[in-house]
């Protein structure tokens, strides 16, 4: 008889809750940083304003996350620090001065990080799980960028192919961060999340494929 699949533990101890809140906060701070920088490279004023508005919305739930961390005996900035280091690494390895590559990077890597945070956050107890879900709610970035990309790549197969290849490279960097992120959660929360690694990669990969489809780029 095959061995039963290992179960994924709940993350309900205070230190576990705090570190997951740190992950969520880091994902929002990183999204803000990337979007704010992207806005400066926008080819049109309309796009610049739209991306700037999206950037400003990324930190809307930060104070709520900070209060929740405090209620569980932690400090959100401390909890977010190791995750920010990992996410900053993704940003450094996928830097570009090209507007299209920048926004595709933000949609792809930012979306995958958000998906990972959501998967981990599902292990939290109520009502913290709802706090996390609210903080990770979609901001409309994929739809905005999809419209921009569709307009730019219409009749330009070279740009479409370049962005598709770039998206795959960025996705590889983001997927490579899944295990290091889980390692931080394990260390800070004193918990074994080995059973979550494969499902997390599967969910993040599947959501990435759907996101690339919306962008009109082959995943």
Q: What is the pLDDT of residues 108-165, one digit of tens each?
A: 999 999 999 999 999 999 999 999 999 998 767 888 888 888 888 888 899 999 999 9
pLDDT at 2 over 50: no
Q: How far is CA 19 from CA 65, 101, 165, 215, in A?
A: 11, 31, 34, 32
Per residue in 30-52, pLDDT (tens digit) is: 999 999 999 999 989 999 999 99
Q: For position 4, what pLDDT does the model report?
A: 40
Domain membership of residue 133 (yes or no) is yes
Q: Is the pTM of this model over 0.75?
A: yes
Task: Decide if 6 is inside a domain.
Answer: no
User: Taking CA 25 as the corner, what is the angle to CA 22 and CA 28, rounded to the nearest 5 degrees?
Assistant: 150
At residue 218, does pLDDT exceed 80? no
Per-residue pLDDT for 5 more than 60? no
Q: Are 65 and 133 in contact (CB under 8 A)?
A: no
- pLDDT band, residue 219 (cuts 50/70/90): low
- In this model, does residue 1 exceed pLDDT 60? no
Task: Report the alpha-carbon distance of residue 38 to residue 55 in Å, rounded.
Answer: 9
- The total of structural domains in the chain comes to 1
Q: How far apart are CA 38 and CA 32, in angstroms?
A: 10
Examine residue 113 and state whether it is found in any structural domain, yes or no.
yes
Cα torsion 40, 41, 45, 49: sign: negative
Shortest CA distance to 35 belongs to which of 89, 93, 111? 111
Assigned domain for 189 exists:
yes
Residue 56: inside a domain: yes
Residue-number span of the structural domain to which 122 is assigned: 14-215
Tell the burial category of 196 from Cβ atoms under 10 Å away from its Cβ (0-12, 13-18, 19+).
buried
Q: How confident is the model at residue 6 (pLDDT cuts 50, 70, 90)?
A: low
d(CA 218, CA 139) in angstroms, rounded, equals 23
pLDDT tens-digit map of 61-100: 999 999 999 999 999 999 999 999 999 999 999 999 899 9
**CATH at 100:** 1.20.1260.10
Domain membership of residue 1 (yes or no) is no
Interatomic CA distance for residues 175 and 74, integer angstroms: 28
Judge whether 75 lies within some domain.
yes
Tokens of 197: 């690694």
pLDDT on residue 151: 85
Tokens 């990077």 belong to 105
- The single-letter DSSP state of residue 122 is T
Q: Which two tokens stand for residue 166?
A: 């770039």
Residue 84 included in any domain: yes
Write out pLDDT tens, residues 179-198. Answer: 999 999 999 999 999 999 99
């Amino acid at each position: 008889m095959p061995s039963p699949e290992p179960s994924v533990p709940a993350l309900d101890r205070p230190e576990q809750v705090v570190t997951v809140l740190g992950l969520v906060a880091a994902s929002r701070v990183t999204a803000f940083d990337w979007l704010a920088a992207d806005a400066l490279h926008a080819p049109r004023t309309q796009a610049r304003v739209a991306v700037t508005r999206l950037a400003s919305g990324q930190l809307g739930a930060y104070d709520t996350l900070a209060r929740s961390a405090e209620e569980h005996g932690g400090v959100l900035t401390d909890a977010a620090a190791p995750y920010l280091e990992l996410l900053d690494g993704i940003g450094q390895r996928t830097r570009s001065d090209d507007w299209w590559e920048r926004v595709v990077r933000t949609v792809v890597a930012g979306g995958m990080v958000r998906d990972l945070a959501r998967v981990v956050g599902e292990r939290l107890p109520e009502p913290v799980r709802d706090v996390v879900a609210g903080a990770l709610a979609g901001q409309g970035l994929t739809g905005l960028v999809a419209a921009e990309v569709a307009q730019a790549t219409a009749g330009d197969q070279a740009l479409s192919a370049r962005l598709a290849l770039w998206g795959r490279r960025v996705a590889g960097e983001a997927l490579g961060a899944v295990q290091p992120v889980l390692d931080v959660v394990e260390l800070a929360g004193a918990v074994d999340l080995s059973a979550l690694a494969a499902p997390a990669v599967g969910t993040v990969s599947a959501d990435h494929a759907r996101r690339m489809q919306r962008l009109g780029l082959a995943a």
